[in-house]
Structure formats: C-alpha cells, structure tokens
Amino acid sequence: MSWETNSGLQAMRQLSRLLPPGGLKDREKVERDMEEMISRDYEPYFSGNAALHLLAECQRCGRCCREEKSIAVSIEDCRRIARHLGLSQKRFMMEYTRPHSLKAAAVGSARLLCKEEGEPCPFYDPLLPGCRIHPAKPQVCRAVFYLSKMNLLLCREEKEIKAIPGCPADALLRERLAQFRRNLEDEPGAGERLEALFSSHRPEVDLFLLLLRLKGLEIYFGGDRAERLARRLGLPRLAQEDELRAGALLYAASLIYGRSLSGAKQKK
Ligand code: SF4
Ligand code: SF4
C-alpha cells in the first residue's frame, strides 16, 4: 500500500478520537439541518470541493486579488483580520466591509470587503507580491476557493468538482493528484481498493465524510454555524484541516479518477 494511502487511512481512523463516549448524538436531526444548508443532491461535489480546498495552497500570484468581483468575509474573518491590523472588530467592519449582496438565508452573517468592481482588493499589494494580511486573510482566500470562489452557489449550480483555470495552486494540486494516481498504477489492486473504500460503510469512512462535510459547511457558511452542528453531534470541536488532509487526498483522487482507478494498471 502506498504511503499516501496508508497515511490517509490512518488519519481517518484517528478521527475516532473526536467521537463522544457512546457515539454521535442526534445525528439524524443534525443531518437534516445540514441538508437544509446544502442539499445531499450536491454530494459528492460539495464535499469533493471541500477536499480540494483543504489540499490546495494558494501560491499568492495575485490573480484572484486583482480579478475577483467580490470577496466574502465571515464574522470570524473580520475578527481575525481586525486583530491582525490592530483595529477593533467594529472599526474594521465599518472601514473595510459592507453588507453581502446575497440574502442572509444564503450567506448567513457573511459580508463583503469594500471594493469597486474592476479594482483590486484593498489588501492587495503587487510589491509583496499578494496579500497584505496573508496570515489572517479571509477563509475564501486561504485555499483556492473550490467551494466559495466568491460565489456561494457554485456547487449547487454547476455540480462538478471544480478546476480553477489559470490558478497555479490548482495546477500544483492537479499534478499532485496525477502523481498519486501514477503511484497507484504501480500497486496491483490499489485502485480497486481505493474506489471501494468510499462506497463502503466502514465507520472511519463514515466519520471522515461527515467531518469533511462539516468542514465544507464551515468554509462555506462560516465556523459559527458549523461549530453549533458539531456540538449538537456531541463532538468536542470541528476537525482541523490537518486532520482531514490525508483522507481528503484519497477522497479527491477517488472522485476525480473514479472508475479509471480500477483499470489503471491494465491501461498502462
Ligand atoms: S488562488 Fe490561485 S489564482 Fe488565486 S491568488 Fe492563489 S494561486 Fe493565484
Ligand atoms: S484578502 Fe488578500 S488574498 Fe484575499 S483577495 Fe484580498 S489581497 Fe487577495
């Protein structure tokens, strides 16, 4: 078994440390509420994009900062950026943000950074290059926006595992996934095993997929709502990105390469 597959499986098993004694609570009801936020019809696209979001690392080329029409910020983003800039949260929100253009039902308490269409983000500095608030930048800017890409309805409308054309972070991630697939080709049966893994009902897979979906909701709607859901399930906290990444690689590869994984060795 390749080390990536091994470490993905191990990481998924280790997530059981988050389980409350006696198992998850109130799961059916919480899942219904999750479903109201993002319909199950958008799976596996929603969680698949969450997996890519965790795996990609923005290369700070500045394209998004120059070209995106709007940049959404959650209340947590505002809190973190305000602290980074040495401002009160209220002052930051007054000076740098405005209400979101979408209804609160869709975006919760998210706001938009103040910027005119066609203008770069106020925090973009071409000399750095990139972001003046890099360590504290908004969640939507922290990866490659597979889920949000400044468009909170993307997954619903397009039902696909997004690629971000012209994004160096996306290109790097695709190469990493392609390399992972090549590694699988050298390992008899590995493709079949990976494909079967995510359609199995193994408890570690079930928990991983639940935590990944919660992470997606956190990225998509902000942490407050996702944390409330996690608490209702009896979880002490949401999974951290690091705890999900190794499993996310397996999941993203299984979705992107799908059935072709099983025939990988034969087609070589
Ligand atoms: S997300 Fe991609 S395109 Fe946007 S700034 Fe980062 S590397 Fe550049
Ligand atoms: S906050 Fe930073 S990373 Fe996000 S768009 Fe603005 S300059 Fe770019």
Q: Is the dihedral of CA 148, 4, 60, 109 positive or negative?
A: positive
For residue 101, the CA-to-ligand 1 centroid distance in Å is: 23
* 122 and 207 share one domain: no
With H, G, I as helix, E, B as strand and everything else as coil, classify residue 113: strand
**What is the domain extent for residue 69?**
63-142
Residue closest by Cα to atom 4 of ligand 2 = 141
- Ligand 2 atom at minimal distance to the Cα of residue 58: 3
CA 172, 173, 175: angle at the middle one, nearest 5? 65
**Nearest ligand atom owner, CA of 136:** 2
Ligand 2 near 141 CB (within 6 A): yes
* 49 and 68 share one domain: no
* 207 and 74 share one domain: no
- Ligand 2 atom at minimal distance to the Cα of residue 122: 6
268 residues of the chain, pLDDT tens digit each: 677 888 999 999 999 999 999 999 999 999 999 999 888 888 888 898 889 888 988 888 888 888 888 888 888 899 999 999 999 999 999 999 998 877 666 666 778 999 888 899 999 998 877 889 988 988 778 754 566 543 444 444 555 566 777 888 889 998 999 999 898 888 888 878 888 899 888 999 999 999 999 998 887 777 788 999 999 999 999 999 999 999 999 999 998 886 666 554 444 3
* 131 and 178 share one domain: no
* 95 and 213 share one domain: no
CA distance 173 to 182: 14
For residue 176, the CA-to-ligand 2 centroid distance in Å is: 25
Token code pair at residue 8? 């993905």
Question: Residue 194: inside a domain, yes or no?
Answer: yes
**Nearest ligand atom owner, CA of 168:** 1
* 257 and 134 share one domain: no
Question: Residue 169: inside a domain, yes or no?
Answer: yes
CA 189 to chain centre: 29
Residue closest by Cα to atom 6 of ligand 1 = 58
Does residue 236 have a cis bond before it (omega within 30 degrees)?
no
**Nearest ligand atom owner, CA of 77:** 2
Question: Residue 228: inside a domain, yes or no?
Answer: yes
Question: Residue 158: inside a domain, yes or no?
Answer: no
Structural domain tally of the chain? 2
Could you tell me which of 183, 247, 186 has the C-alpha nearest to residue 212?
A: 247
Residue closest by Cα to atom 3 of ligand 1 = 167
* 43 and 128 share one domain: no
Number of H-type helices and E-type strands within the chain: 15, 5
Ligand 2 near 64 CB (within 6 A): yes
User: Is the CB of residue 50 less than 8 Å from the CB of residue 147?
Assistant: yes
Give the pLDDT of residue 191: 79
Question: Residue 229: inside a domain, yes or no?
Answer: yes
